[in-house]
Amino acid sequence: MRKKITIIGAGNVGATAAHWAVVRGLGDVVLLDVVEGVPQGKALDLWQSGPVENFAWGVKGSNDYADTAGSDIVIITAGLARKPGMSRDDLLAKNVAIVKTCTAEAVKYSPDCVLIVVTNPIDAMVYTAFKVSGFPPNRVIGMAGVLDSARYRTFLADALGVAPSDVNAMVMGIHGDNMLPLPRLANVAGVPISDLLSEEKINEIVKRTQMGGIEIVNHLKTGSAFYTPGLSAIEMAEAIVKDSKRVLPCAAYLEGEFGISGCFLGVPVVLGEKGVERIIEFELTSEEKAALNESVAAVQNQMADTGL
């Protein structure tokens, strides 16, 4: 039976995610937005690319949540985007209200779906979706680590002059300035990056990764990143749809892992048909633990600000 993927928010991130969902053959796609005509027009345009890209999936644009009924995965991208001078936290109050509405309507029509939250600030927004949905934590996941790790791997590959696909590297923690790229675990085809790059260069790349989002915002002036965020959400959705047991860094609900409980934080997880099937826990150095605790403090402040 064909899977059904709903993407809420037909802006740049949502439309990009819809594009990758059909290209990767994940199933029928519903693109939903409150602005009349926008999801319909973008979905129609995307659907007409089927003969060229050779896909036969349905693509529907809608303003009615009833059209999302029976979705296997719901991806929430709706919300305000950052502009120069804004932090992700500046978006919190307005985006909490948006995500609350999107979640409540989505789960009413798709009570068995897996929720993937992309809206910023992600760690607070996935917590909002969790509280509003009433879903078990394995079925509510935040997209952040895939995106941050992709940026990290890109910068490392560029510095080394190697294919990005041969760079293994991971970012944990909050999706924000306190995120934790892990140089100790980064390698190129098994060779540690510390054997290939100076400490100064590695620190430079870590800092650029932490500021990767605002670097793009400062270029665009009127919006934020969308190509890689949209694709990152679909990377997660594909692992769930295909039950492929991919190990991906995602914002998952911690219940004692890494000594942390009661919040969503970016950690490596196994993704399968049930969503988060398990969190991969490993020993951190004292410095890494301290940095991760800074992420926890920042996330807890965001959670308090949601009022949930």
Cα 112 to Cα 98: distance, rounded to the nearest angstrom: 21
Asked whether residue 152 falls in the same domain as residue 122, the answer is no
Last residue of a domain, one of 91, 118, 142: 142
3-state helix, strand, coil in the chain (%, to 5): 50, 20, 30
Report the predicted TM-score, pTM, of the whole model to 2 decimal places.
0.96
Asked whether residue 21 falls in the same domain as residue 35, the answer is yes
**What is the per-residue pLDDT across 41-67, written as a single tens digit (0 to 9) for each?**
999 999 999 999 999 889 999 999 999
Cα 88 to Cα 94: distance, rounded to the nearest angstrom: 11
The phi-psi region of residue 294 (left if phi > 0; otherwise alpha if psi is between -120 and 50; otherwise beta) is alpha
- Residues 224 and 88 sit within 8 Å (Cβ to Cβ): no
**What is the per-residue pLDDT across 224-259, written as a single tens digit (0 to 9) for each?**
999 999 999 999 999 999 999 999 999 999 999 999
H-helix or E-strand containing 123? helix 122-133
Catalytic residues: 175
Asked whether residue 69 falls in the same domain as residue 155, the answer is no
Asked whether residue 172 falls in the same domain as residue 302, the answer is yes
The residue range of the domain holding 192 is 145-306
Asked whether residue 172 falls in the same domain as residue 301, the answer is yes
Report the pLDDT value the prediction gives residue 147, as an integer from 0 to 100: 98
